[in-house]
Amino acid sequence: MSATRNKDITYEVIRSRRATADIVIERDGRVLVRAPESIPDKRIEDLIEAKLYWIYKNLAEWRDLNATRVLREYRNGEGFLYLGRSYRLLLVADQEEPLLLKNGRFCLRRDLVDRGEIEAAKAAFRDYYIARGAERIRQRVDYYAPKIGVTPRDINVRELGNRWALCSPNGNLAFHWKCTMAPQTIIDYIVVHELCHFHHLDHTAAFWNEVDKVMPAYGERKEWLRVHGAGLDV
């Protein structure tokens, strides 16, 4: 990956075995160019020039969306998302597990907060989402993979930075733990999206046509993720 500047735009280039180049705005606001290994730098510069208006427009939208990003606090009554539903937090003392979801509340061990271990509290949520997400997402992959005609080798849920999911060339799938915070319909979209990359590595018309075959209403789910994705955090 290399970082380059064009007028007022700083962008990063990732080269891989893909057929075409495209531009994406990452969830942290970075401009990313995904390009074939063989494409010359001049072609990438020309692509950036041609897409300047689109880049400025989408960066402005990113700023607007992130201006309302929710910053949660670890106190009684705070809401935390799981499968699209908000559950209130309850700090408890008599609990061995760092975090449990029971009786309609997230029960977090009070000592993690009382000692000021905010990172430990965040880790408790991450671990919970990873454990629950691994089971649920595997079920959805098992459901959709035969419909798309693919067979993933391995599936895991982990920290992926600014990516919702990844499909590796050797057939492994990885999903961000934050996916588990989204509604089931959005999780299904992310699963279908990655499974369709087994057939098409790029986001070409052929790729979206493959997604449409399995999930005709994918556009609504894609838009939901764009608008609400920044709010999926702990």
Supply φ then ψ for residue 152, to 5 degrees: -65, 150
0.75 cut: is pTM over it?
no
Nearest in space to 185 (alpha carbons), one of 228, 149, 215, 152: 215
Q: Does 65 have pLDDT greater than 80?
A: no
Compute the average pLDDT of residues 75-90: 92
d(C-alpha 86, C-alpha 71), whole Å: 14
Residue range 135-180, pLDDT digits in tens? 999 999 999 999 999 999 999 999 988 789 988 888 899 999 999 9
Sign of CA dihedral 133, 100, 160, 65: positive
d(C-alpha 212, C-alpha 54), whole Å: 24
